[in-house]
Structure formats: structure tokens, C-alpha cells
Amino acid sequence: MTRYSCPALLVTAPASDSGKTTVVAAMARYWRNRGKRVRVFKTGPDFIDPIFHEVASGQPAYQLDLGMMGEAACRRHLAAAAAEADLILIEGVMGMFDGRSSSADLASLFGVPAMAVIPAAKMAQTFGAIACGLAHYREDVTLFGVVANKVGSAGHALMLEESLPEEIAFCGWLPRDESLALPDRHLGLVQARELPDLDAWLDAAAAKLGESCNMPLPEPVLFEPVPEDPVLKMVGRPLTGRTIAVADDAAFAFIYRDNLALLTRLGAELVHFSPLTDELPQCHALYLPGGYPELHGPALTANTLLMQQIRDFADAGHPVVAECGGMLYLLEHLTDKWGEGTEMLGVLPGSAQMQSRLQGIGMLSAEIQGFTLRGHCFHYSSSEIQLEPIATATQPGRVKVAEPVYQLGGVVASYVHWYFPSAPALVANWFLGEHP
């Protein structure tokens, strides 16, 4: 099989909140504005950051997560991107060496050099010491260069650059400027679709980064193609002729692109709609992904026609797959963190309450119908649902997280954001409405 060559960088940092998303988006827009085709990936099960990268690059952005996806799926994505791109950027997660399947682990496994974003406010030559530490902590990881963030002035930037050894490239700097900070909320950054001036912001950030240096890039990396998952060939196209309505708007936007690609690969036709404004499209099944229903309660309940259509759809036994926020939408009642309650669909018996602290986070897996389905949870609500779970998604390791999986008629619901390609036959059964 043909091997594909493409320059690639894994953008990392000493810690979270260092500015990785801003720098990756700015780099993607910088090179796109110069006619380059840029493909961006996000390490970990993140839904929000990839949309910024899609807007910045003009290309789809996928996750790369060894625990959730497996090595083969990650390699398929990288090889496919290298076959068509001029540059691959991978945004890391947390600090460079933090956690299981860390950014450094990915960089080592796939032979991709790293570039670290180092916040440099109130720092001088120590900037170089941090860069050296990141470069030499592990021999199997190459630190190509660094970007300085939150820099006070051009003179400050020069001081930081001079602190670096020759083998670590200075890849630019961004100033300490509140206009470059992306707004956030309880589940991460405010979504890209909610920022009307995002394109102007991206162009400004790209210009500032590009003005700061000549934007060096490493030598190309060779990526080996990986054949299609043999399990997919065995499953075939059982969803041929079926239409799946996918909720997709500011209230329900936490969707893995791989999930949509799998449903299409299984033969389904996907129709996107907004629960905030639309009616339910003609469909055989409904997919309600996670999101922020707690921020859009009045608008969701104002769409009374859709709410009744979904109730009737579920009552008729049609397949509905709901994840996290999608599950909250199906409950009888949702209370926000200020104590204001909203009547939801009432498809599932139970209620949920938003909390001020995180209630569940982690990678999980569940055994359902003889299949192992993997996914991730990250939620601030607690719920009481009057159903016996059909399974429990659990987490290995020291931090134990467990999330029930509920089924009522054709409805399957959980706090877990499932990674559908981990069990394609089970997912096909769900959307066909085939339950034991």
C-alpha cells in the first residue's frame, strides 16, 4: 500500500489552559490563508475544540484517542489526511505527558514531532528551561519547537527566543491580549457556532502569529495506510434504506464525526435538524446527541410541535438513541443550577438537576448484547430515572466512574457519549430497533 508523506505537528503544552486551541486554530487559518490544505485532529474525546479547527481549516476535524478508538483507527485517519493535506496539526490534551494515552504517547507512536505552547507571562529565561525539560523528559519524543503565549511585548518575545537552544525552533508568539482569549463555560469553550465574529477572530489571530516569525515547519512524516476494519466488512450495510434524523444545533452539538461516518457506512441516510426551531423530519430513527439543553430550555419547550412529534415517535416504538444532553431532553423535568425548572419531553420517567461541580468524567465501556461499546462521559447534572438499567458503563483504573444504560421500548439512553465504531453491529441493531 502507498505510504503518504506530510509535515505534521502535535501541538502540546506544559499544562491545560495554556492556549493550545487558540494556537492550533491560528496556525490552521494562517496556512489555509496561504493556499495550504490543512487537516486538524484533536487528542481525546472532545466535541467543542474540533469545530473551531474545522472553521479555521475549512476541513473536517476528527478525534485521535487511543483508548476510545484504538491505534488502527487513529492510523487510518492520519494516513487519509496525509494523502490529501499539505499540513497535519494535532491538538494535544492536558499537559504533554499527562494521563494514560498522553500527547507524548501519541507523538511517539505515530512519529510526529511536538510543538509546545508555553504561557510566558512573568517569565524570561525560565522559558528556555521549560522547553528543554519538555524536550528531554522522554527520549522517544521529539520537540520540534515552541510557541510563546501571553507575551508582554516584542522585546519580551526576543528574550524568550534567545533562551532556547538551537535545536528547538521558535515558532512564534501571541501577545497577552484578552481579545485572543476564547470564552468558556462549564463543559469547555463556548461553541464555535455561537461566536458570530469567529472568522474575523481567526484571521486576526493568524496574522498576529504569522507576523511574529517565519512559521517554520518540520520535515514530512511518513504515514502507513491501514485497511478498513474487517468487522465493518462483516457487518455490511444493514441500515440501507433507512433515514436517521440527527439533532444538530446549539443545544445538541456533541457529535463524533466518526459516528456519523459509521452510520453512513452502514447504509443510512442522515438528515440533520434543529430541535430549537424545526419539525421532526421524515425518518425511521432518531439520534439525540449531547449538548446544552439546560441553556436552551425555553426555546426547546416553545417548539411544542416537535416535542409532541418526538413523544409520538417514541411511543410508537421507533428507535431513539440519546446521549447525555439528549437523554436530559427525554426526561420529564430538568432543573438548572439556579433552581429554575423546565418540563421536558417526558419520554423517560425521571428528572435531572444541574450541579455546580462535575458529576462524571472518564472513558467507559459497556457490555451490551454481547458487544463491548466504548465511550466517554462528562456531565454536570445528576439524575433520577425510574428504570432498571440494561447495562452499566464502567471505567477501569483508580478513578471509578459508572453510568447506567437505559432502554424503554425503542429508546436507548445514557450519559455516555458512545463511540459507535467500537461496536458497529450493536449500533446497527439500535437504529434498526432490534433489542433482546
Residues with catalytic annotation?
324
List residues bridging with 320 in a β-sheet: 286, 411
* CA–CA separation, 239 and 39 (whole Å): 30
Q: What are phi and psi of 162, to 5 degrees?
A: -70, -15
List residues bridging with 4 in a β-sheet: 223
Helices (H), 279-377: 297-302, 304-315, 325-330
User: 335-341 contacts: CB < 8 A, separation 24 or more?
Assistant: 336/294, 336/297, 337/294, 337/380, 340/297
Distances 337 to 120, 137, 334, 357, 378 between C-alpha atoms, Å: 36, 43, 10, 10, 16
Are the C-beta atoms of 407 and 434 separated by less than 8 Å? Answer: no
Distances 355 to 310, 332, 344, 352 between C-alpha atoms, Å: 27, 18, 18, 10
User: Strands across the sheet with 391-394, in order?
Assistant: 269-273, 243-247, 285-288, 320-323, 411-414, 402-408, 391-394, 360-368, 371-379, 417-418
What are the grid coordinates assigned to 423, written together? 461496536
Helices (H), 61-110: 66-69, 71-84, 103-110
* CA–CA separation, 152 and 123 (whole Å): 10
Cell 471505567 -> residue: 395
Are the C-beta atoms of 244 and 280 separated by less than 8 Å? Answer: no
Q: What are phi and psi of 335, to 5 degrees?
A: -110, 130
- Kindly state the helix (H) or strand (E) to which residue 131 belongs, with its residue range: helix 126-136
* CA–CA separation, 222 and 347 (whole Å): 50
427: helix, strand or coil:
helix
Q: What are phi and psi of 156, to 5 degrees?
A: -60, -45
Q: How many of the other CB atoms lie within 10 Å of CB of 183? A: 9
Are the C-beta atoms of 296 and 250 separated by less than 8 Å? Answer: yes
